[in-house]
């Protein structure tokens, strides 16, 4: 990737940098680096931060202007991501809509659906949750059993989803349902949109290892939604869902990977103040190097999005496999640097940044497609190894 910036990009970078300098203050500065795409740590501060970004015109940069975006180029989006990581503000609260559902709708939605839903995401007025996984269908997503049928001019949904991130905050859910029970497994699925507070939809939070209650079970009992709330063709939702998951493994993770460098810098600062053994020095050097590799993988991914001959899905899998395993190792190192106090949580289960790294990084090997599934993808699609027996 060519990293030299044109004069226009330098001007854009300076504009972004100045904006962050002026706006990452007060509560936002006190919550630097807080949160992740799937958790609700400091959620109210992060929501206020999203509104600040929205007011400044810094959300959904690549979207068409008619839906509230800036039509920013891939290079501008990359510059923005790098500056975001440099400023290290709180993690955006409403990424489910901005980074996952929104891009999916841009690709597969009707003009009416885009006009109805996208501007509300940019204005941080409506939040979204992804209802794909089920108790019996995670890696084997096509095995899902939640059913929907057309009845009385609308869809009626029955079934159960699980691990729906931030569903307690969601106004809307996009739900993958079986709409043709007789079709082969990967066909006969449709992606439906339903209000999270519709009658027949029940959201039950699950408490996680970080003490948050951000991902949920969602039960549907004869829950109704209008007939036109289907994204993409009826019975062809597999294709739509794969588009959403590709985005999740790609650009969503880029933001998370770029900011890991500041976590490593915090670890180095903590180790310096507490004294450093030669072993710790070596491990910190390794962690710092791995954080740089994550950045380079992210830059390669952006290059592939600019259509320079690399397959973005393959690059996204490489980034995810490398970063999730490395981040777990970094979390373990952070825990060792913290020493015995790192084993204690504060009032109301308040975890500090290092504990958050140690505990939260474990989820990264699972969500958006597990590490083993990504390795299967790479083995089959990139290395041409024999397909796994099914
Ligand atoms: C923090 C977090 C947030 C999430 N948010 C959402 C969300 O918002 N919406 C949503 O729909 N889902 C969400 N998920 C669910 C996530 O997508 C699933 O957990 C994931 O796809 C794995 O599915 P599973 O949990 O059913 O595990 P399983 O599929 O049962 O896998 C169990 C183990 O078996 C391994 N395995 C399974 N199949 C194979 C295979 N073919 N080859 C090799 N190994 C295999 C897996 O790698 C894993 O180690 C979230 C998960 C986490 C952890």
pLDDT, one tens digit per residue, over 25-74 is 999 999 998 888 878 889 999 999 999 999 999 999 999 999 999 999 88
Give the chain's length.
Answer: 390
pLDDT of residue 3: 66
Of ligand 1's listed atoms, the one at least distance from the Cα of 139 is 29
Predicted confidence (pLDDT) per residue in 170-192, tens digit: 999 999 999 999 999 899 999 99
The protein residue whose alpha carbon is closest to atom 41 in ligand 1 is 373
Residue 244 pLDDT more than 90? no
pLDDT of residue 308: 61
Which of 52-56, 81-85, 241-245 tops mean pLDDT?
52-56
Whether 125 is catalytic is no
pLDDT of residue 365: 93
pLDDT of residue 248: 61
Which of 331, 308, 324, 330 is CA-nearest to residue 252? 324
Report yes or no: 121 and 109 within 8 Å, Cβ to Cβ. Answer: no
Predicted confidence (pLDDT) per residue in 262-289, tens digit: 899 999 999 999 888 999 999 999 999 9
pLDDT of residue 20: 98
pLDDT of residue 306: 73
Q: Which of 52, 83, 248, 290 is catalytic?
A: 248
Q: What is the CATH number of domain 7-122?
A: 1.10.540.10
Q: Compare 249 and 286 and report the one with higher pLDDT.
A: 286
Predicted confidence (pLDDT) per residue in 355-372, tens digit: 999 999 999 999 988 999
- Residue range(s) of every CATH 1.10.540.10 domain in the chain: 7-122
Those residues whose C-beta lies under 8 Å from the C-beta of residue 66, and which sit 6 or more positions away, are 115
pLDDT of residue 276: 86
In a mutational test of the pocket of ligand 1, which residue from 366, 369, 388, 389 has the highest number of ligand atoms less than 8 Å from its CB? 366
Which residues have C-beta atoms less than 6 Å from ligand 1? 38, 130-133, 138-139, 163-165, 215, 363, 366-367, 369-370, 372-373, 376, 388
Report yes or no: 192 and 149 within 8 Å, Cβ to Cβ. Answer: no
| Assigned architecture for domain 128-235 | Beta Barrel (2.40)
Confidence of residue 126 (pLDDT cuts 50, 70, 90): very high
- Looking at residues 321-338, what average pLDDT do you find? 95
Report yes or no: 216 and 169 within 8 Å, Cβ to Cβ. Answer: no
The protein residue whose alpha carbon is closest to atom 1 in ligand 1 is 363
pLDDT of residue 17: 97
Residue 310 pLDDT more than 80? no
pLDDT of residue 302: 79
C-alpha–C-alpha distance, residues 93 and 319, integer Å: 23
In the reported structure, the alpha carbon of residue 27 is separated from the centroid of ligand 1 by a whole-number distance in angstroms of 34
pLDDT of residue 136: 94
pLDDT of residue 382: 86
Residue 118 pLDDT more than 90? yes
- How does the average pLDDT of the chain come out, rounded? 92
Residue 354 pLDDT more than 90? yes
C-alpha–C-alpha distance, residues 73 and 79, integer Å: 10
Alpha helices, H only, the chain: 7-23, 26-30, 43-55, 74-87, 95, 102-108, 111-122, 237-247, 253-258, 260-274, 278-305, 312-338, 353-364, 371-377
Residue 250 pLDDT more than 70? no
Q: Compare 96 and 306 and report the one with higher pLDDT.
A: 96
Phi and psi torsions of 76, nearest 5°: -65, -40
**CA end-to-end span of the chain, whole Å?**
38
Of ligand 1's listed atoms, the one at least distance from the Cα of 369 is 21
pLDDT of residue 75: 87
Of ligand 1's listed atoms, the one at least distance from the Cα of 140 is 29
Share of the chain above pLDDT 70, in %: 96
In the reported structure, the alpha carbon of residue 135 is separated from the centroid of ligand 1 by a whole-number distance in angstroms of 10
Of ligand 1's listed atoms, the one at least distance from the Cα of 376 is 42
C-alpha–C-alpha distance, residues 353 and 362, integer Å: 14
- Residue range(s) of every CATH 2.40.110.10 domain in the chain: 128-235
- Looking at residues 313-329, what average pLDDT do you find? 91
Check if CATH label 3.40.50.2300 holds for domain 259-382.
no
The protein residue whose alpha carbon is closest to atom 5 in ligand 1 is 165
- Residue range(s) of every CATH 1.20.140.10 domain in the chain: 259-382
Share of the chain above pLDDT 90, in %: 73
In the reported structure, the alpha carbon of residue 22 is separated from the centroid of ligand 1 by a whole-number distance in angstroms of 40
* 3-state DSSP assignment of residue 142: helix
Long-range contacts of 68-75, Cβ-Cβ distance < 8 Å, separation of 24 or more: 68/118, 68/119, 68/121, 68/122, 68/123, 69/122, 74/302, 74/305, 74/306, 75/9, 75/306
- The bridge status of strand 172-178 relative to strand 128-131 is parallel
pLDDT of residue 212: 84
Report yes or no: 254 and 202 within 8 Å, Cβ to Cβ. Answer: no
Residue 1 pLDDT more than 70? no
H and E: helices and strands count for the chain: 14, 8
C-alpha–C-alpha distance, residues 326 and 316, integer Å: 15
DSSP-derived secondary structure letter, 104: H
């Amino acid at each position: 990737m060519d990293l030299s910036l044109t004069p226009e990009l330098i001007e854009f970078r300076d504009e972004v940098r100045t904006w962050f300098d002026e706006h990452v203050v007060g509560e936002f500065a006190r919550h630097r680096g807080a949160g992740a795409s799937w958790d609700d740590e400091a959620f109210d501060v992060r929501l206020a931060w999203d509104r600040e970004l929205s007011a400044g015109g810094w959300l959904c940069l690549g979207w068409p202007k008619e839906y509230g975006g800036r039509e920013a180029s891939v290079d501008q989006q990359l510059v923005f991501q790098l500056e975001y990581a440099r400023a290290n503000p709180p993690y955006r609260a409403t990424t489910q809509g901005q980074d996952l559902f929104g891009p999916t709708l841009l690709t597969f939605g009707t003009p009416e659906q885009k006009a109805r839903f996208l501007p509300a995401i940019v204005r941080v007025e409506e939040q979204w949750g992804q209802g794909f996984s089920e108790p019996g269908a995670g890696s084997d997503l096509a095995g899902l059993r939640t059913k929907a049928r057309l009845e009385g001019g609308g869809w009626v949904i029955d079934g159960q989803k699980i691990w729906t991130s931030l569903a307690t905050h969601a106004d809307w859910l996009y739900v993958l349902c079986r709409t043709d029970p007789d079709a082969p497994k990967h066909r006969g699925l449709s992606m439906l949109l339903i209000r999270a507070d519709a009658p027949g939809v029940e959201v039950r939070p699950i408490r996680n290892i970080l003490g948050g209650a951000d991902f949920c079970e969602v039960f549907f009992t004869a829950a109704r939604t209008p007939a036109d709330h289907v994204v993409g063709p009826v019975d062809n939702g597999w294709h739509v869902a794969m588009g959403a998951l590709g985005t999740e493994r790609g650009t969503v993770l880029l933001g998370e990977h770029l900011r890991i460098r500041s976590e490593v810098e915090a670890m180095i600062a903590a180790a310096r103040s507490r004294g450093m053994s030669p072993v710790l020095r070596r491990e910190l050097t390794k962690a710092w190097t791995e954080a740089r590799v994550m950045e380079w993988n992210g830059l390669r991914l952006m290059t592939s999005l600019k259509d320079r001959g690399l397959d973005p899905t393959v690059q996204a899998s490489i980034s995810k496999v490398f970063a999730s395993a490395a981040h777990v190792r970094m979390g373990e190192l952070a825990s060792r640097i913290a020493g015995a106090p790192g084993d204690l949580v504060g009032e109301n289960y308040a975890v500090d940044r290092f504990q958050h790294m140690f505990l939260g990084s474990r989820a990264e090997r699972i969500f958006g497609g597990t590490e083993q599934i990504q390795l299967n993808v790479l083995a089959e699609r990139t290395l041409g190894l024999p397909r796994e027996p099914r």
